[in-house]
A = this chain, B = another copy of it.
Amino acid sequence: MIEVNAPVTMSDVARAAGVSTATVSRVVNGHYGVSARTVAQVRSAIEHLGYESSLVATSLRRSRTNVLGLVAHSFQSYTAEVLKGVMKALSRSGFDLIIYANSDLYGSYSEGWEQRHLTRLSGTLTDGCIVVTPWGEVRSRTPVVAIDPVRGSTGPSVISDNLTGATTAVEHLLGLGHRRIGFIAGRDSLASAWSREEGYRAALTAAGVPVDPTLIGRGDFNPESATPLARVLLQRPDPPSAIFAASDGMALKVLEVARELGFSVPGDLSVVGFDNIPESALTQPGLTTVDQSMYQLGYEAARMLKSLVTGEWDEPSQIVLPTSLVVRDSTAPPKSAARP
């Protein structure tokens, strides 16, 4: 009879098969040095008891687990898309995936969360990790690939061509006739945030439009951070005719604030985002944004990590993926476009 609440351990199997745990281990791992008869006995006992090796115990002892890890701070659309790409890359690869997500306890995870998670996992559980939008540099015994790394990071990473993307977005607005273009920046420790701001500045400068620091709001990619910033920009006596937000999540908040303050979009205000998360196509009006394939980011990161873990890597360790502008309905020429 099978006892339901009893966790079946290796020694249970050993006892049932009349051998030592060492022999059971050898059978389970297909190691040499066990007679056919004993193998059959052990197999039968495993079958009968429904034994399944414990990931925890195994990983504690072994160096290699064939499990890769992914740690993320929050779990929004961005991360979900990345995950799909990761899973695709890992399918039929022999690697399983463990995702570790914290519950943001008391907000106390604010600093060093990725390091904390990483050391907890990579101690033994995983052979390597992907970190999504880290807040700082990390160190680990096992390989780590960063998606959207911090500025100045030197480790393996995958990132979109944020500079070109942002430049294109602002050029789009300039092309429509906008001259007063607000910007809501992202968490400035991230390379992506920095490049997007750089692209904003570069496009303006190239067009001969001076950069007005008072039109720049300092967000942190967290959608909520954009709300007060958008309010400040739009309640000025001379509000910008367009706002470029460094992420779609923040851009959607700008749309919210605009609606709340009576701005019609794109009539009174054009809005551009960055990321092209699924929600951006669903809003009214649809959000014009810069598409970065989060799926592709995840896919490439997983591919790179796999190679790093198996030790067969030759490509450059910092991959940059292209971006493209997606024009929807949140952008139009400004009302005063006819001004000389």
Contacts and interface: CB of A to CB of B under 8 A. Distances in A.
Interface of A: 4-7, 52-57, 59-60, 74-76, 80, 83-84, 87, 90-106, 115-116, 119-121, 123-125, 139, 141, 278-279, 281-282
Given A87-B75, A98-B100, A92 B119 contact: no
B115 A52 contact: yes
Nearest to A277: B278
Nearest to A119: B52
Given A52-B115, A52-B120, A282-B278, A96 B103 contact: yes
Nearest to A74: B87
A108 B6 CA distance: 26
A102 B101 CA distance: 17
Nearest to A139: B4
Nearest to A54: B123
Contacts of A4: 139
B103 A95 contact: yes
Nearest to A83: B75
A55 B282 contact: no
A5 B140 CA distance: 7
22 contacts: A5-B141, A52-B115, A52-B116, A52-B120, A54-B120, A55-B120, A56-B59, A56-B124, A56-B125, A57-B60, A60-B60, A75-B84, A75-B87, A76-B84, A80-B80, A87-B101, A92-B103, A92-B104, A97-B102, A99-B100, A278-B278, A278-B282
A121 B75 contact: no
B84 A83 contact: no
Contacts of A98: 98-101
A91 B75 CA distance: 10
Nearest to A69: B98
A97 B87 contact: no
Nearest to A115: B52
A123 B80 CA distance: 27
Contact of A92 (B83, B105, B121, B281): B105
A84 B81 CA distance: 12
Nearest to A124: B56
Nearest to A7: B141
Contacts of A52: 115-116, 119-120
A72 to B, nearest CB: 10
A84 B94 contact: no
Contacts of A75: 83-84, 87
A97 B100 contact: yes
B141 A55 contact: no
A54 B87 contact: no
Nearest to A123: B54
Given A91-B104, A93-B103, A97-B99, 5 more contacts: A7-B119, A92-B106, A96-B101, A98-B100, A99-B100
A265 to B, nearest CB: 19
A282 B74 CA distance: 25
Nearest to A102: B96
Contacts of A59: 56
A80 B76 contact: no
Contact of A103 (B74, B97, B119, B282): B97
